[in-house]
Amino acid sequence: MNNAHPGLPEFDYIKPATLPEASQFLAQHTGESRPFMGGTDTIVRMRDGFWKDKYLVEVKHFEGMTSIHFDPAKGLTIGAAAPMNQVAAHPDVRKYYPLLAEAANSVASYQLRNRATIVGNICNASPAGDTTGASIVLDGVLSVHGVNGVRTEPLKNFFLGPGKTVLKPGDIVTSISYPLPADGWAGKYIKLGRNALSDLSIVGVTVLGYPDATAKSGFRFRIALASVAPVPFIPTAAEAVLAEKPISDAVIDEAATAAMDACTPIDDVRSSARYRKLMVRNLTRKALAEVWAKIK
Ligand SMILES: Cc1cc2nc3c(=O)[nH]c(=O)nc-3n(C[C@H](O)[C@H](O)[C@H](O)COP(=O)(O)OP(=O)(O)OC[C@H]3O[C@@H](n4cnc5c(N)ncnc54)[C@H](O)[C@@H]3O)c2cc1C
């Protein structure tokens, strides 16, 4: 294959006929192959010399990989290869899962979202992934095809570190499913970046809230934070405050401070750790207040 871009190394593009064949190939070529989805992370990482795969394995053509299906009894299933723009524009996503559409629409540019997928965003396991928080608070579950067959992986146990997940050699995520959200829920994603387009988040705050008679406060809030820990971070102490105490501005403040205290951000080119911490408090407070106004 000719090297079209001077920075992009040569690789072979493999298009297996079946999922088992794809899993076998990936497992046999561990460390030198990966599933190829939108390629928006993969091509950049290969161009920049961080990934040196010899094979990119096409998986988008398998049945169901690009479908988006809503079942009023079971919830939403999104094929792993459905581009973000299709997800965000889908009428059932907009109606029943607007938080997911909001998160997808915050990623880079319209052009990039024509290629980028939510599952690719999740499998890439960047702590800054914009759709990961919504997928966590909406209880997303991945369907995975591996060398030993099919299994599911809930997102809450999926991330092990930056770029590291529980996926094993040969694993291909085929879809992500979200159960029906609780009645009366509302959500908000706030992304703070250095500019409005095409930048990863300095901090990303996802909040989902709903009435829940089993919580002392009568409400349950789920929070996920991006770019403030090695993996997408769930500030459980903040969630507990909101479940225990009657919701008020002071309690929202207390929860936002608990979120700030729990996260462990780093200094990098996009922000200092201190600024990230302060922004976690401010933006968590803002997102909680917005959600609270809708569900109370
Ligand atoms: C200019 C630019 C701007 C960007 N801005 C943002 C942004 O604002 N917010 C943000 O969150 N991200 C951003 N990104 C990162 C990227 O676009 C997202 O992470 C995107 O969602 C990745 O999806 P993809 O389908 O392109 O994945 P790919 O690049 O194809 O794959 C990414 C990784 O996941 C693995 N993978 C993908 N699908 C599967 C699967 N089905 N099964 C198993 N493994 C799989 C791949 O093998 C690879 O290791 C940006 C990237 C660029 C180039």
Q: pLDDT confidence of 4, banded at 50, 70, 90?
A: low
Pocket flag, ligand 1, residue 81 (CB < 6 Å): no
Q: Assign residue 9 the CATH number of its domain.
A: 3.30.465.10
267-294 tens-digit pLDDT: 888 889 999 999 999 999 999 999 999 9
In angstroms, what is the span from residue 126 Cα to ligand 1's centroid?
A: 9
Q: Residue 169 and residue 106: Cα distance in Å, rounded?
A: 31
Same domain, 171 and 26: yes
**Residue 65 Cα: closest atom of ligand 1:** 41
Domain with 67, as residue range(s), is: 1-178
Q: Are 201 and 229 in contact (CB under 8 A)?
A: no
Give the neighbor-by-neighbor strand order of the sheet with 33-36.
12-14, 55-58, 33-36
In angstroms, what is the span from residue 295 Cα to ligand 1's centroid?
A: 33
Q: Which of 19-33, 64-78, 181-195, 245-259 has the lowest mean pLDDT?
A: 181-195
135-156 tens-digit pLDDT: 999 999 999 999 999 999 999 8
Same domain, 117 and 75: yes
- CA-to-CA dists, residue 26 to 20, 60, 202, 216, angstroms: 10, 15, 34, 49
Same domain, 231 and 128: no
Pocket flag, ligand 1, residue 14 (CB < 6 Å): no
Q: pLDDT confidence of 263, banded at 50, 70, 90?
A: very high
Same domain, 222 and 105: no
Same domain, 26 and 140: yes
**Residue 172 Cα: closest atom of ligand 1:** 42
Same domain, 59 and 91: yes
What are 8's two structure tokens? 């992009």
The per-residue pLDDT for 5 is 54
Q: Is 188 within a domain?
A: no
Q: Is 183 within a domain?
A: no
Same domain, 9 and 99: yes
Residue 224 exposure: Cα atoms within 13 Å on the Cβ side:
28
What are 68's two structure tokens? 């988006």
Q: pLDDT confidence of 110, banded at 50, 70, 90?
A: very high
Q: Assign residue 272 the CATH number of its domain.
A: 3.30.390.50
Which residues have CB under 8 Å from 4's CB, separation 6+? none
The per-residue pLDDT for 200 is 85
Q: Is 195 within a domain?
A: no
Same domain, 214 and 155: no
Q: In terms of residues, how long is the chain?
A: 296
State the Cα angle at 151 between 146 and 152, rounded to 5°.
Answer: 125
Q: Is 186 within a domain?
A: no
Same domain, 221 and 280: yes
Burial of 4 from C-beta contacts in 10 A (0-12 / 13-18 / 19+): exposed
In angstroms, what is the span from residue 40 Cα to ligand 1's centroid?
A: 5
Same domain, 87 and 174: yes
Q: Is 184 within a domain?
A: no
Among protein residues, the one with the nearest Cα to ligand 1's atom 15 is 41
The per-residue pLDDT for 196 is 67
Same domain, 8 and 138: yes
Which residues have CB under 8 Å from 164's CB, separation 6+? 125
pLDDT at residue 125 above 60?
A: yes
**Residue 171 Cα: closest atom of ligand 1:** 43
**pLDDT averaged over the chain?**
95
Number of domains in the chain: 2
43-95 tens-digit pLDDT: 999 999 999 999 999 999 999 999 999 999 999 999 999 999 999 999 999 99
Q: Are 165 and 63 in contact (CB under 8 A)?
A: no
